[in-house]
Structure 1
C-alpha cells in the first residue's frame, strides 16, 4: 500500500514540473533587438496624360474616348479637366407667350445630351496628380461661341444642379462632397447681359460660377461630378423666344488654388 501512494505522488510531481515555463535569459554580451528604417518615394505625374475613367469604377477607362465629340475636354497630366459633356440638348418647343418655362436637358431617344459612360448623368471629371493637394476650382461661363446667338434670348439662364461627387480611392462620397473633400455646387448662369423686356418676372443668375471646388489639402486623385439631366435646365422668360434655333457654349475653366 505504501508503494502505491509513493508512485502517485511521484507522478503528480512530474506533471507539475512539465507545466512550469522555461524562461530564457540573454547571456552577457548578447543583443536580441534591432531597428529597420523603411522609406517610400512618390513623384507627381506632370507629363503622362490621364484619360477619363468610369466614375463608378476608376480602374476602367471611359468609353467613348476623348476627341470623339462626346468629350468637351482633353486628357492631361498634373491638374487637368479630363472630361466635360460634349453637348446639352434642351429640345424643340412651341413659343410660350404667357408663362416662364424651364426645359430640361434631353437624353437618349428624346435628345442628344451627352451622358457620362453608363451613368445616365451629365458628367465632369478632374484629375489632380500633382502630389501637392493645393486645391482647385472648376468654373463655368456661358457664351455664344463662333456662330451662336444664345445671348439674344433675353432674360434666359442655364441651371446646373449640385451634382453627386465621386472620387477615386477607398473613401466614400457623401452626396455633393467626394471622399477626397471636393464639393459640387449649384450654378445658375445668365446667358447674356440683356434684361427681359416682357411683363413677366425674369430669371436671374450670374455670368459665371463655380461648379466644383477643392480646398487646400483636398481634391487629390480623379474627381467626378455627376449631374441629373432633369435638373440641368434652360430657363426661358415668357414671350422672349424667337422662332429660331439658339446656339451657345458653356466654357469650363479649371484653376489651381496655388495660382491665386
Structure 2
C-alpha cells in the first residue's frame, strides 16, 4: 500500500512541475491572420444560359434572349426590333415614330410597351473591351416599287444602363441623331474601351415613364417610341404593301479607340 501511495504523489508532483514550466514559456496570442482565396474563370457553355437583365425595373417584365441557349463569354443577348406601323401613302417627306416594343409582365404575361434596347454581356474576365455595331438593309417588297429609296432610320436619343457597381467602367453610347442608311456602313451604337464593359450593359432607346403614360391615355391607340424614327422622301414611290428590312447586329472584341461613331 505504501508503494502505491508514493507513486501517486510522485505523479502529481511531476504534473504540477510540467504545468509550471509551460506557463513560464508560453505567450498569450489574441490575434492571428489566415488566407482566403477564390478563383474566377470565364463563363462558358457548361455554366448555363445567359439571362436578359431588363434595363427598366418598372414595369417588371421577363424578356427572353435573342437566341435561346446563348452562353457567353462575350455575347449579344438581346437586340432591338423596329416596327414603324401602318402608314398612309404620301407624296410628302414623312418621319414616322417606331411602334413601342411590347414585353410580357413577369407575373401575368400581359404585354406592355417597353423601351427598346440592345444588351451585351461580357463574362470573359479580361477587361479587353468590345464594340457593338448595327447595319441596315433596304426596305423591300415583292411589288412593282420594291425598294423604299431614300429611307433611313435615325436613333434620336439613347442612354446606357450598366449593371456593374463601378459606373466608371460603363461603356459609351452613340451620339444622338445617329443615322442608319440602307446598305450603308455598320454604325457603332455601344462601345466599351479597354477596361470597360465587364458584366452586363445595355444601350437603351426610349423613356419608360413616357411609354407608361401613353399606355394609360385613352386617346392613344398605338403607343409609339419617338427615340427611333424612320424617314422616307415624298418622292419615293410606295405600293400598298409591307416593306421589310433586316438589322444586323455585330459584336467585336476590338473596339474603336475613338468610341461610338456620331451622326
Q: TM-score, normalised by structure 1?
A: 0.65
Aligned-partner SS, 2:169: coil
Matched residue, 1:252: 249
The one of 70, 75, 80 equivalent to 2:75 is 80
> Among residues 149, 174, 199, which one is paired with 1:185 in the alignment?
174
User: Over the residues paired in the alignment, what is the CA RMSD in angstroms?
Assistant: 3.4
Mapped to 1, the partners of 2:140 and 2:94 lie a distance apart of 27
Of the three residues 89, 102, 106, the one matched with 2:99 is: 106
Cα distance change on mapping 1:188 and 1:73 into 2, 3 Å: farther
Deviation for aligned residue 1:96: 2.7
Over residues 3-23 of structure 1, what are the superposed CA-to-partner deviations in whole Å (9 max), with x where a residue is unaligned? xxxxxxxxxxxxxxxxxxxxx
Question: Hey, what does 1:196 align to over in structure 2?
Answer: none
What count of residue pairs does the alignment treat as equivalent? 201
Mapped contact 2:62–2:103 kept (Cα < 8 A): no
Specify whether residues 83 and 233 from structure 1 end up closer, same or farther in structure 2 by C-alpha distance, changes over 3 A only.
Answer: same
Offset at residue 37 of structure 1 (A): 3.2
CA distance in 1, matches of 2:179, 2:37: 49
Distance 1:250 1:154, change over 3 A: same
Q: Secondary structure of the equivalent of 1:240?
A: coil
Question: Structure 1 unaligned runs (5+)?
Answer: 1-26, 108-112, 173-178, 193-205
Check whether the contact 1:78–1:128 (CA below 8 A) recurs between aligned residues. Answer: yes
Alignment-derived partner of residue 123 in structure 1:
117
